[in-house]
Structure 1
Amino acid sequence: MSLLARQRQELILEQVRERGAVRVSDLAERFGVSDMTVRRDLDVLARRRLLAKVHGGATALGVPSTHEPGFVEKSGRQQAEKEAIAAAAAELVEPGTAIGLSAGTTTAALARALLEVEGLTVVTNSMAVAEVFSAERPGRTVILTGGIRTPSEALVGPVAVAALRTLNLDVVFLGVHGMSAASGFTTPNLMESETDRALVEAGHRLVVVADSTKWGTAGISTIAELAEADVLVTDSGLDDDARAVLAGEVDQVVVAEPR
């Protein structure tokens, strides 16, 4: 039975409030309607100031560019997508290399996927990532930067930056708060942005790991432009328009399929 427009709009609004963001393609599939119908629904809701339209979907209102969800809150979002991204990213890591992992729930998932890779040297400013690697294993070295702790369990600030600027890493894996054509890869925390830039500069290659809901979101500070990433690992929920933009900027876009 098809839904009335008003009923569909109420369900869309409920999804936005629960998840913080929705995609046109997902809503069209869920309700069995065209993308154009969903966009009209979003137009209605945006005019009523109940949500904000963004490229390919909509986001909740009242979430400023400096809002930083806590690690536990973020851990419950897009779990299947993050696990798929982590598995795909782990295939890019060679045994015996030196890698950097930024803070974030996706990089924490990647850390778990790397537990069986031998001989790694892991540099991180993430307490959660360091905890994953806490078990002692021969031939593995874990370096945790010092710094000031943020809500996302990152260690940031001048101590972290100073430590990172002395290092040379084979590859850096960067988790981000948002990504867009205009703003690049972003974070809502100014100090974390500075620390992440130091981590990026320490790496020979940059791999960004970001689920598809990050597209169209912008934090207050840019960590890196889209073109600075050698590889982006994301999930199959990314819409065609976003894929086209990213393919024109990033050398390699890897699309993981959640189970």
Structure 2
Amino acid sequence: MKKSERCLAILEILQRQHKVTVTDLAQRFGISEMTIRRDLNFLARQYNISRTHGGAELGNQPVVRMISFDEARIAHKETKEKIAAMAATMIRSGQRIFVDAGSTTRIILNYLNEETKAVVVVNHLKVAEQALQFENLSVIMLGGDMIRITNCSSGPVAEEQLKNYQLDIAFIGAAAIGTDGKLYDGYSPEARLKSSLFSVAKKVYVLADSSKINTYDLNEFGSLSQIDGLITDAGIDEEGMILMKRHRVNVMIAE
């Protein structure tokens, strides 16, 4: 079993049991306890799980992939900047757009022409604050349950509010794009919110650096066949391109 598959399985166990031990996991996967410790350390840096002396615990909460707004901690930052810059060129005055809270999508606003007049719908406090710096943007913050750990709004209220809008473009991130052609997110309420965008946006573009391709996460929210394009980087390998061609995805490479 690959590390990515094993880590996903560990997260699913934590979702069910809320606590795991190194010894039990090592026996379950037939690998060394040292390898399991490395896996748990890796997961603790990306998700809201806590390392304990003998394993890890989640507590009485769902697994959430941590969204960092500390620019110094963002992985593949230069690549993501290029992807966001390309996405920004697609925005026209008069459009209604959705920008999610992903580490790539939120950078779009850094490259937006200040003269652009548009309506921007967001579900993250930091993204809303950034959008409000543009005098020509009308900003709509989705309501609903605020997730303290990510500062995102989600849940039934946010989903119902979103369904009342008609959007021209939605720019969304993906925690993973699987070899099965599915799009994945690290948090189920966020995944449900993203899935509702396909029914209200004329065009949906996924912004994801090449490291996300041919990987998996916990929650499926859509498929490659539903999107209008993938904006990624030149690091996408042959296997990734074959996957995109199989699902007839318009791939845009940010140079």
Aligned twin of 1:173: 171
* Aligned pair partner of 1:61 in 35, 39, 52: 39
Change (3 A) 1:225 1:254: same
Aligned twin of 1:209: 207
Q: Distance in 2 between matches of 1:217 and 1:240?
A: 15
1:232-247 equivalent positions in 2, closer than 5 A? 232-247=230-245
The question of whether the paired residues in 1 share the 8 Å contact of 2:99 and 2:121 is answered with yes
State the one-letter code of the partner of 2:125: M
Deviation of 1:160 (Å): 0.8
* Aligned pair partner of 1:121 in 113, 119, 122: 119
1:133-212 equivalent positions in 2, closer than 5 A? 133-135=131-133, 137-138=135-136, 140-150=137-147, 151-182=149-180, 184-212=182-210
Deviation of 1:117 (Å): 4.9
Deviation of 1:133 (Å): 1.0
Name the SS of the counterpart of 2:129 in structure 1: helix
State the one-letter code of the partner of 2:196: A
Change (3 A) 1:253 1:161: same
Deviation of 1:104 (Å): 1.1
The question of whether the paired residues in 2 share the 8 Å contact of 1:102 and 1:199 is answered with no
Question: TM-score if structure 2 supplies the norm length?
Answer: 0.72
State the one-letter code of the partner of 2:217: G
Q: Distance in 2 between matches of 1:244 and 1:205?
A: 23
The question of whether the paired residues in 2 share the 8 Å contact of 1:81 and 1:235 is answered with yes
Aligned twin of 1:23: none
Name the SS of the counterpart of 1:77 in structure 2: coil
Aligned twin of 1:71: 68
Q: Distance in 2 between matches of 1:238 and 1:207?
A: 17
Q: Distance in 1 between matches of 2:209 and 2:127?
A: 18
Change (3 A) 1:51 1:108: farther
The question of whether the paired residues in 2 share the 8 Å contact of 1:181 and 1:226 is answered with no
Deviation of 1:73 (Å): 6.1
Aligned twin of 1:228: 226
Deviation of 1:137 (Å): 1.1
Change (3 A) 1:115 1:240: same
Name the SS of the counterpart of 1:71 in structure 2: coil
Deviation of 1:153 (Å): 3.2
Deviation of 1:147 (Å): 2.3
Q: Distance in 2 between matches of 1:159 and 1:115?
A: 32
Q: Percent identity?
A: 25
Q: Distance in 1 between matches of 2:32 and 2:251?
A: 37
Question: TM-score if structure 1 supplies the norm length?
Answer: 0.71
Return 5+ residue gaps in structure 1 as ranges. 1-15, 21-45, 53-59
Q: Which has the higher contact order (CA 8 A, sep 6+)?
A: 1
Q: Distance in 1 between matches of 2:249 and 2:203?
A: 11
The question of whether the paired residues in 1 share the 8 Å contact of 2:181 and 2:247 is answered with no
The question of whether the paired residues in 2 share the 8 Å contact of 1:206 and 1:231 is answered with yes
Name the SS of the counterpart of 1:105 in structure 2: coil
Deviation of 1:201 (Å): 2.1
Q: Distance in 1 between matches of 2:243 and 2:211?
A: 15
The alignment yields a C-alpha RMSD, in angstroms, of: 2.7
Name the SS of the counterpart of 1:223 in structure 2: strand
Return 5+ residue gaps in structure 2 as ranges. 8-29, 48-62
Is 2:70 the counterpart of 1:92? no
Deviation of 1:119 (Å): 1.2
